[in-house]
Amino acid sequence: MSGERELGALVERLLADPQYRDHPLREALLLVYQHSTDQLNHLERITRISDGFQSMTREQHSTLSERYDQQLRRLRKILRISDRYQVMMADLNDALRIASMHDPLTGIGNRRLITERLQEESDRARRNGKSYALVILDADNFKQVNDTWGHNIGDRVLVEISRAMKGAIRECDLCGRWGGEEFLLLLPETSLDDARIVVERVHEAVCAVSMGIGAEVLSVTASFGVTEHLIGEHYMQTIGRADAALLDAKSGGRNRCVFARGG
């Protein structure tokens, strides 16, 4: 490269020297030099354009790559958010379903859960031939409790009755609030005779409920109507028979258990 610069400098000196102004080869040397200079300038422009294009291409490629990575990161974030949202919605649906199946005051099953389980147990009994026992119990003189002590105390009584029931039944049994001060027990694959043991235990647990209100003590009793589901009948017929037994218990003096056989 230094040799080319030296050659260029030599040609320029020769062309500028006055003694060679009339030399017959001076014109030819000038044309060759100008042509070489033009070619060199052209090559330099091409080189600059090429370098610029390559730089632009690299920059564009880098920009596209960065944009791709950015979009990829954004999509991954959206997917993570979507996964969390789906988990959250599933948890919310589970919570809503549980809430819709349980009594908000006592926390035990409500009428909806009870009717679903009654349908399931009736279908199961039809398939395997093993029936279930059904119990309806009612807190005695509950209206008097509300009138005397107020509804807040009445609600506390219902909560304590629910706790006593839950502590006295078996793991496979279901207790639920049927409505007001009325509760229902579902004893799967249990005959009327076998239900007596569970019912007596629940009766004792409910009657043991007592609440201190100031200097006074509030005690609780309950009446029970018990029956056995007849395989093939609708569960509402079973409920009707248990409810009739409950009425007999209340009309017979309350704080009693009446067992009714079907058929």
CB atoms within 10 A of CB 249: 25
Dihedral pair phi/psi, residue 183, rounded to 5°: -125, 160
> How remote is the C-alpha of 250 from its chain's centroid?
45
Q: Which of 121, 181, 189, 204 is catalytic?
A: 181
Cα 244 to Cα 225: distance, rounded to the nearest angstrom = 7
Counting Cβ atoms within 10 Å, is residue 172 exposed (0-12), middle (13-18) or buried (19+)?
exposed
Q: How far is Cα of residue 69 from the mean position of the Cα atoms in its chain?
A: 32
Helix-strand-coil percent breakdown of the chain, rounded to 5?
65, 15, 20
Q: Cβ distance 236 to 204 under 8 Å?
A: no
Specify whether 181 is catalytic: yes
Give the catalytic positions in this structure. 181
